[in-house]
Amino acid sequence: MSCPLAPGMRVRNPARPDWGEGQVQSVVGARVTVNFENAGKLLVNVAVVTLEAIEEPRDAR
């Protein structure tokens, strides 16, 4: 993971695209709780699993 994770961030697990997008619920060290669209709330060890941050679309003004 190239950027630090924080609660509220949107992420995906590229190794498990079937889980869908997830929202970070909490971060404690390398343990990240993520609520995924299709897999529910999971505890992910980011020392082992790489999560990708999803860029939020910017408002077009």
CA–CA separation, 27 vs 44, rounded Å?
10
Sequence-separated (6 or more) residues with CB below 8 Å from residue 13: 19, 22, 36, 44, 49, 50, 51, 52
String of b and e for 9-45 (b: at least 16 CB within 10 Å)?
bebbbeeeeebeebbbeebeeeebbbebeeeeebebe
Predicted pLDDT of residue 55: 84
Task: Give this prediction's pTM.
Answer: 0.85
Q: Structural domain boundaries of the chain?
A: 10-53
Q: Would you give per-residue pLDDT tens digits along the chain (61 residues)? A: 446 899 999 999 999 999 999 999 999 999 999 999 999 999 999 999 999 999 876 665 5
Predicted pLDDT of residue 2: 45
